[in-house]
Amino acid sequence: MSRNSASSRNSGRVVSESFLLAGDLRADLLAPDANARLRAELVALILHPMYYLGGDKDNYVVHWLQDCMCNSLGIPSIRYTSNNPSFRGYGEAGDAKKAVEFLTSGKCELVPRCKRVLLIGYSAGANAAIHCGNEFAKSEKLAGMVAVSPPFGWLASLFLGGLVKTPSPCRRPQLYISGTRDEYCSSSSFASTVAEFFRSTEKIDLKIPNNATCTVASNDFATAVLVPNGGHFWQPREFRASLAYLEDFVTGRILRTGGEGEGNIAGGGSEANSRPKDKPRSSSST
């Protein structure tokens, strides 16, 4: 990536850069400031929903996730549009793997010290993130994997089933989040699929919420969360609860086990204007 392929915008402290990732992926980086991106050893990489259903790097949930990483956690984050869209998801997963390899190679001028990547996928991008995470199952290049609204169940079997393997070979930190009103994945399908991922280790027994409080289950490798009233196309109130668990996961499982110097980066961001300062655990919070 040359400087000729990048354009930048500095709004206050936050730095926004448009560039070509791994040579041909149209990408946007958001960092707390220029120094943070230059010294960052951890970078978040965000995968978008299915291209043929209108998904790309400009999806609103992808934007929310990027803002959370940068503004709440101080982690430089990158969203990009896949160059190899497919109905099965292998093209998107391949692009994600290529991006992880490129970012951790030291060849990306925008984040030259990157050593670890936190993969975050939404919708079909979640299944691609799971598949890519399995490719780096025991690699230090993968800081962790987050799957938001993974379309398990009938949709996964029809289109994206090949991406999701059970049991999961991944031994890096993982977070799975879904809403109880997800139109593409029932709560029971979500809970049973996550349980199958870890059937050969410590099984995750996730309960279905019966009120406005989120349910959570964890083992040594992963955490799963069900958010009451959350749909596949998230609304701000329910998504705030998801972001609270995402922030806890990153600070508890990613940054505390990270390399030297990442703590300063994590603390470098300011609170996002669109986020409340508290961390609601109920999807009915305002």
Higher pLDDT among residues 50 and 62, named by residue: 62
Q: By percentage, how much of the chain surpasses pLDDT 90?
A: 70
Going by pLDDT thresholds of 50, 70 and 90, the confidence category of residue 84 is confident
Q: What is the band of 256 on the pLDDT scale with cuts at 50, 70, 90?
A: confident
| Residue at 277 is within a domain | no
Q: Is residue 3 part of a domain?
A: no
Domain assignment of residue 284, yes or no: no
Provide the pLDDT for residue 53: 77
- Asked whether the predicted pLDDT for residue 50 surpasses 50, the reply is yes
Q: Which domain holds residue 53?
A: 14-266
pLDDT of residue 270: 34
Instruction: Specify the pLDDT at position 203.
Output: 87
Does residue 275 fall inside a structural domain? no
pLDDT at position 220 is 93
Q: What is the pTM for the complete model shown?
A: 0.86
pLDDT attached to residue 89: 76
pLDDT at 10: 56
pLDDT at 9: 57
Total domain count, the chain: 1
**206 and 195 Cβ atoms separated by less than 8 Å:** yes
In which band, very low, low, confident or very high, does the pLDDT at 91 lie, cut at 50, 70 and 90?
confident
Tens digits of residue pLDDT in 133-176 = 999 999 999 999 999 999 997 766 677 667 788 889 999 999 99
Answer yes or no: is pLDDT of 259 > 50.
no
Mean pLDDT, the chain, rounded, equals: 85
Q: Is there a domain that residue 6 lies in?
A: no
Q: Return the percentage of the chain with pLDDT > 70, whole number.
A: 83
Q: What CATH number has the domain bearing residue 131?
A: 3.40.50.1820
Q: What contacts 119, CB < 8 A, 6 or more positions away? A: 45, 47, 96, 100, 129, 132, 133, 142, 144, 145, 146
Digit-coded pLDDT (tens) for 184-231: 999 999 999 999 999 888 889 999 998 889 999 999 999 999 999 999
In the chain, how long is the greatest CA-to-CA distance? Answer: 54
Tell me whether residue 114 is in a domain: yes
